[in-house]
Amino acid sequence: MEKFEPVVVAFCCHYCAYTAADMAGSLRLCYPANVKIVRVPCSGKVDTIHILKAFEGGADGVYVAGCMEGDCHFKNGNVRAAKRVRYIQKLLDDIGIGGQRLEMVNLSAGMGERFAEIARQITEKIRKLGPNPIRNLTGPLSEAAVQISKELQLQ
Protein backbone atom coordinates (compact mmCIF):
# COMPACT_ATOMS: atom_id res chain seq x y z
CA MET A 1 0.00 0.00 0.00
CA GLU A 2 1.39 3.41 -0.91
CA LYS A 3 1.89 6.03 1.77
CA PHE A 4 -0.93 8.55 2.20
CA GLU A 5 0.15 12.14 1.51
CA PRO A 6 -2.40 14.57 2.87
CA VAL A 7 -3.43 17.83 1.26
CA VAL A 8 -3.44 20.66 3.78
CA VAL A 9 -4.83 24.14 3.12
CA ALA A 10 -3.35 27.01 5.13
CA PHE A 11 -5.34 30.25 5.17
CA CYS A 12 -2.62 32.78 6.04
CA CYS A 13 -3.20 36.42 6.93
CA HIS A 14 -1.31 38.79 4.66
CA TYR A 15 0.56 40.72 7.34
CA CYS A 16 1.90 38.03 9.65
CA ALA A 17 1.37 34.39 8.75
CA TYR A 18 1.92 34.81 5.00
CA THR A 19 5.06 36.85 5.72
CA ALA A 20 6.24 34.08 8.06
CA ALA A 21 5.67 31.55 5.25
CA ASP A 22 7.61 33.79 2.89
CA MET A 23 10.43 34.00 5.42
CA ALA A 24 10.48 30.21 5.74
CA GLY A 25 10.92 30.02 1.97
CA SER A 26 13.62 32.71 1.96
CA LEU A 27 15.50 30.83 4.66
CA ARG A 28 15.10 27.66 2.60
CA LEU A 29 13.44 25.89 5.50
CA CYS A 30 11.87 22.58 4.63
CA TYR A 31 8.16 22.11 5.12
CA PRO A 32 5.80 19.80 3.26
CA ALA A 33 4.99 20.78 -0.31
CA ASN A 34 1.48 19.46 0.19
CA VAL A 35 0.61 22.56 2.28
CA LYS A 36 -1.34 24.83 -0.04
CA ILE A 37 -1.23 28.44 1.11
CA VAL A 38 -4.17 30.78 0.50
CA ARG A 39 -3.26 34.38 1.33
CA VAL A 40 -6.09 36.31 2.94
CA PRO A 41 -6.25 39.98 3.97
CA CYS A 42 -6.94 38.95 7.59
CA SER A 43 -7.66 35.64 9.29
CA GLY A 44 -10.96 37.21 10.36
CA LYS A 45 -12.01 37.22 6.68
CA VAL A 46 -11.90 33.42 6.52
CA ASP A 47 -15.56 32.49 6.75
CA THR A 48 -17.14 29.17 7.59
CA ILE A 49 -17.98 28.57 3.93
CA HIS A 50 -14.32 28.96 2.88
CA ILE A 51 -13.18 26.28 5.30
CA LEU A 52 -16.01 23.94 4.40
CA LYS A 53 -15.32 24.48 0.67
CA ALA A 54 -11.68 23.50 1.25
CA PHE A 55 -12.80 20.21 2.81
CA GLU A 56 -15.42 19.72 0.11
CA GLY A 57 -12.71 20.31 -2.50
CA GLY A 58 -10.64 17.47 -1.09
CA ALA A 59 -8.43 18.97 1.61
CA ASP A 60 -7.53 16.47 4.32
CA GLY A 61 -6.71 19.21 6.81
CA VAL A 62 -7.03 22.98 7.13
CA TYR A 63 -5.46 25.57 9.34
CA VAL A 64 -6.09 29.26 9.74
CA ALA A 65 -2.95 31.23 10.57
CA GLY A 66 -3.38 34.73 11.92
CA CYS A 67 -1.44 37.41 13.73
CA MET A 68 -0.46 37.03 17.38
CA GLU A 69 -3.31 37.82 19.75
CA GLY A 70 -3.42 41.55 20.40
CA ASP A 71 -1.39 42.34 17.25
CA CYS A 72 -4.02 41.98 14.54
CA HIS A 73 -3.73 44.68 11.90
CA PHE A 74 -7.53 44.73 11.76
CA LYS A 75 -7.97 45.02 15.55
CA ASN A 76 -9.63 41.72 16.43
CA GLY A 77 -9.81 39.68 13.24
CA ASN A 78 -7.68 36.90 14.68
CA VAL A 79 -9.92 36.65 17.77
CA ARG A 80 -13.00 36.36 15.52
CA ALA A 81 -11.19 33.72 13.45
CA ALA A 82 -10.33 31.67 16.54
CA LYS A 83 -13.99 31.69 17.66
CA ARG A 84 -15.08 30.70 14.17
CA VAL A 85 -12.55 27.84 14.04
CA ARG A 86 -13.81 26.45 17.38
CA TYR A 87 -17.38 26.56 16.04
CA ILE A 88 -16.40 24.82 12.79
CA GLN A 89 -14.44 22.14 14.66
CA LYS A 90 -17.67 21.18 16.45
CA LEU A 91 -19.55 21.28 13.14
CA LEU A 92 -16.96 19.00 11.50
CA ASP A 93 -17.32 16.53 14.36
CA ASP A 94 -21.10 16.58 13.93
CA ILE A 95 -20.96 15.86 10.19
CA GLY A 96 -18.36 13.11 10.48
CA ILE A 97 -15.27 14.78 9.01
CA GLY A 98 -13.61 15.37 12.38
CA GLY A 99 -12.85 18.65 14.12
CA GLN A 100 -9.23 17.66 14.70
CA ARG A 101 -8.63 18.25 10.98
CA LEU A 102 -8.95 22.02 11.55
CA GLU A 103 -6.66 24.26 13.61
CA MET A 104 -6.06 27.92 14.39
CA VAL A 105 -2.48 29.13 14.86
CA ASN A 106 -0.99 32.54 15.62
CA LEU A 107 2.29 33.76 14.14
CA SER A 108 4.23 36.96 13.81
CA ALA A 109 5.92 37.98 10.58
CA GLY A 110 9.36 36.95 11.84
CA MET A 111 8.41 33.39 12.74
CA GLY A 112 9.53 31.61 9.57
CA GLU A 113 10.96 28.66 11.50
CA ARG A 114 7.77 28.33 13.52
CA PHE A 115 5.68 28.41 10.31
CA ALA A 116 7.71 25.52 8.87
CA GLU A 117 7.41 23.56 12.12
CA ILE A 118 3.63 24.06 12.28
CA ALA A 119 3.29 22.95 8.64
CA ARG A 120 5.26 19.77 9.43
CA GLN A 121 3.31 19.06 12.63
CA ILE A 122 -0.12 19.55 11.07
CA THR A 123 0.81 17.47 8.02
CA GLU A 124 2.00 14.63 10.25
CA LYS A 125 -1.16 14.85 12.37
CA ILE A 126 -3.37 14.67 9.26
CA ARG A 127 -1.28 11.82 7.84
CA LYS A 128 -2.09 9.82 11.00
CA LEU A 129 -5.80 10.67 10.73
CA GLY A 130 -5.93 9.45 7.14
CA PRO A 131 -7.78 10.87 4.14
CA ASN A 132 -10.71 13.24 4.42
CA PRO A 133 -13.82 11.00 4.48
CA ILE A 134 -15.41 12.98 1.63
CA ARG A 135 -12.21 13.27 -0.46
CA ASN A 136 -13.27 10.84 -3.18
CA LEU A 137 -16.76 12.30 -3.41
CA THR A 138 -15.71 15.77 -4.58
CA GLY A 139 -13.81 17.60 -7.30
CA PRO A 140 -10.15 18.60 -7.37
CA LEU A 141 -8.80 20.82 -4.60
CA SER A 142 -7.04 23.21 -6.93
CA GLU A 143 -10.35 24.42 -8.39
CA ALA A 144 -11.77 24.99 -4.90
CA ALA A 145 -8.64 26.87 -3.77
CA VAL A 146 -8.77 29.17 -6.81
CA GLN A 147 -12.46 29.90 -6.20
CA ILE A 148 -11.87 30.63 -2.50
CA SER A 149 -8.98 32.96 -3.33
CA LYS A 150 -11.16 34.87 -5.79
CA GLU A 151 -13.98 35.21 -3.28
CA LEU A 152 -11.64 36.50 -0.58
CA GLN A 153 -10.04 39.05 -2.90
CA LEU A 154 -13.48 40.47 -3.78
CA GLN A 155 -14.36 41.13 -0.13
64: domain CATH number is 3.40.50
Tell me, yes or no, whether 2 lies in a domain: no
Residue-wise pLDDT tens digits, 8-26: 999 999 999 999 999 999 9
Does residue 58 lie within any of the structural domains?
A: yes
Q: In angstroms, rounded to a whole number, what is the distance separating the alpha carbons of residues 122 and 106?
A: 14
Whether 140 is in a domain gets the answer: yes
Q: Does a structural domain hold residue 22?
A: yes
Residue 3 inside a domain? The answer is no
Q: If you write DSSP's letter for every residue of 52-115 in order, what string do you get?
A: HHHHHTT-SEEEEEEPPTT--TTSSHHHHHHHHHHHHHHHHHHHTS-GGGEEEEE--TT-HHHH
Residue range of the domain that includes 35: 8-154
Rounded to whole angstroms, the Cα distance separating 51 from 69 reads 21
Sign, CA dihedral 132-138-142-143, equals negative
1 falls within a domain: no
The count of structural domains within the chain is: 1
What is the tens place of the pLDDT at every residue in 67-125?
998 888 888 999 999 999 999 999 999 988 999 999 999 999 999 999 999 999 999 99
